Structure 1
Amino acid sequence: MAFTDLGDVRLFHTDDGSGDTTLLLVHGLGADSHEWVHHIPALAGRHRVIAVDMRGHGYSSAPESGNTPRRMADDLARLCAALGVESCVPIGHSMGGQIVSHLAVEHPSLVRALVTVDPGYGFTGPVADRFPAMIEEMREDVVGVCLRNDEWTYTRASPGWLREWHRRRILATPPHVLLQAFEAMFGGPDALGLRPNSDTYLARRACPVLTFWFDPAQAAWEAGLFKNPHSKAVTWEGSGHRLHEERPGEFLIVVTNWLRSLP
């Protein structure tokens, strides 16, 4: 079945391929599991691949409350239990990077290794200083703010189809979900989007971590938090925020080679 009812939420997901390793693909805010259509066929040739629409996104149900990365991580743990998954490698983009990091910290026996793609954590300086005002603006026009914020995620090299695809996905996401998730990511007292909250929490990830950034300073910062010697930070300068969609072939090569290198 493409849907699993967890009681308080009904999640849409696809389940393809087979193998010793299960990959759990987790999209970003205002997107859905279609974000991984360029990657699923190749990954499913070697692995079991589960791609999920998180609560409030895509074809999954949108509860009135609880649309936060922490709750979404709990949803994933419950989904894995329902699907008989005892160990997995979650791969999370943007907000998905927060979600899968919560999964690794709170459910360490479930997460064998972790991949994050330009994750939504660890911001500081002018970027972090802007978040409180953005959250207040979102209370008046959440969709408009999200659409304007989406513009920074691209470079001149980003294809037009990618811009339009994500614009349409933002428009299709319930406004209360966008607000709740963004505020939890960047506005709460323990929001992982902000340092030093992220420093303390992410250092608790004991598993191997592969992280992708377009900003070398962010990559160097996260590399300093790694606990496992098999962890690795990759920098793709010149890419946009959705680097895995802009450069899917190269992304797949780096991820699959790293997975093969793990003990």
Structure 2
Amino acid sequence: MPYADIGQNIRLFYTDDGSGDGPPLLLVHGWGTDSHQWSWHIDELAAKHRVIAVDLRGHGYSSVPDEGNTPRQMADDLAALMDVLAIPEVIAIGHSMGGQVVSILAVEHPDKVRKLVAVDPGYGMSADLARTFPETVAGLRGPHPHAAAVQLDRWCTTSATPAVIRRWHQRRLYGMAPHVLLQAFEAMFTLPGAIGVRPASDDYIVRRQCPVLSIWSDAERAAWESGLCKHPASKVVCWEGSSHRLHEERPGEFLVVLRRWLRAS
């Protein structure tokens, strides 16, 4: 059964596909979505790897606790999931909030992450952009939190984003528990200890010791992160003009870049 009880009354939904001799791939979705986000990629990756795709707490089919829906707790959940599955080490791949979660996993549980892939990750926000976050938090706290979440989601797309991707994510947001959307967003960006905004991002991200592949849609943030990757096998790529969900809109190109880097690193 694709559920794992990891303690503290938390049950995580996951799928487990494929096989391979190397470390398994752990696929981690973004804010307000779930592991279906990797449907574009699982089959091809599973041809040569064991692929674990998980719904984070508060998302998808996993438990929805009243409290603790934060990236740090989600990272601890992933470490516990690996223990339940007897997987000592993974290549962790995360999009958006998932990029922050797998980075925390790599910092706090370095023995569990062999390599890390961050896809337009939820860190490195500038102070100018962060000035809009209190308004977002107010909307998520207000009487129409799902409308506020969908308004924020418009930032994730471009005019070239296929309508089916835009609609899929909007539907997922409307299915989310409002308190999870609020807690996760605040813990990423506005609460004490959040690592999503610079300079807190700098201080935390530089602690990652493993090889890192980051794929960005924003040239400025790509250049910023390139100075924070310590391992010589790390690589930062920018697909300028792409949307935040570049791996969904351009899955074939994403898989090519990912596979080449995995072989080279």
Q: TM-score normalized by structure 1?
A: 0.98
1:157 to 156, 160, 165: 160
AA aligned to 1:172 is G
Note the alpha carbon deviations across 1:190-220, whole angstroms, 9 max, x for none: 2111111110000000000000111111000
1:190 aligns with 2:196: no
2:227 to 202, 224, 241: 224
Which residue is 2:204 aligned to? Answer: 201
Which residue is 1:75 aligned to? Answer: 77
Which residue is 1:261 aligned to? Answer: 264
1:131 to 114, 130, 133: 133
Residue 125 of structure 1: how far off its partner (Å)? 3.3
Q: How is 1:1-263 mapped onto 2 (pairs within 5 angstroms)?
A: 1-8=1-8, 9-19=10-20, 20-140=22-142, 141-262=144-265
Q: After TM superposition, what 4+ stretches of structure 1 lie above 2 angstroms from structure 2? A: none
Note the alpha carbon deviations across 1:32-57, whole angstroms, 9 max, x for none: 00000010000000111000000010
Secondary structure (helix, strand or coil) at the match of 1:112 reads strand
Note the alpha carbon deviations across 1:97-145, whole angstroms, 9 max, x for none: 1100000000000000100000010111321111122212221132111
For 2:15 and 2:106, the matched residues in 1 are separated by 22
For 2:7 and 2:89, the matched residues in 1 are separated by 23
Contact 2:92 2:117 in 1 (8 A): yes
Residue 156 of structure 1: how far off its partner (Å)? 1.0
AA aligned to 1:149 is L
For 2:86 and 2:18, the matched residues in 1 are separated by 15
Residue 188 of structure 1: how far off its partner (Å)? 1.1
AA aligned to 2:208 is R
Contact 2:205 2:228 in 1 (8 A): yes
Residue 84 of structure 1: how far off its partner (Å)? 0.9
The runs of 5 or more residues in structure 1 that have no matched partner are none
Note the alpha carbon deviations across 1:161-212, whole angstroms, 9 max, x for none: 0000000000111111000000100111221111111100000000000001
AA aligned to 1:12 is F
AA aligned to 2:217 is F
Q: TM-score normalized by structure 2?
A: 0.97
How many residues matched? 262
Secondary structure (helix, strand or coil) at the match of 2:131 reads helix
The runs of 5 or more residues in structure 2 that have no matched partner are none
For 1:151 and 1:145, the matched residues in 2 are separated by 10
For 2:25 and 2:112, the matched residues in 1 are separated by 12
Secondary structure (helix, strand or coil) at the match of 1:30 reads coil
Of all paired residues, the percent bearing the same amino acid is 59
Note the alpha carbon deviations across 1:14-69, whole angstroms, 9 max, x for none: 00111122000000010000000010000000111000000010011100000000
For 2:153 and 2:231, the matched residues in 1 are separated by 33
Q: CA RMSD in A?
A: 0.8
For 2:172 and 2:135, the matched residues in 1 are separated by 24
AA aligned to 2:44 is A
AA aligned to 2:135 is A
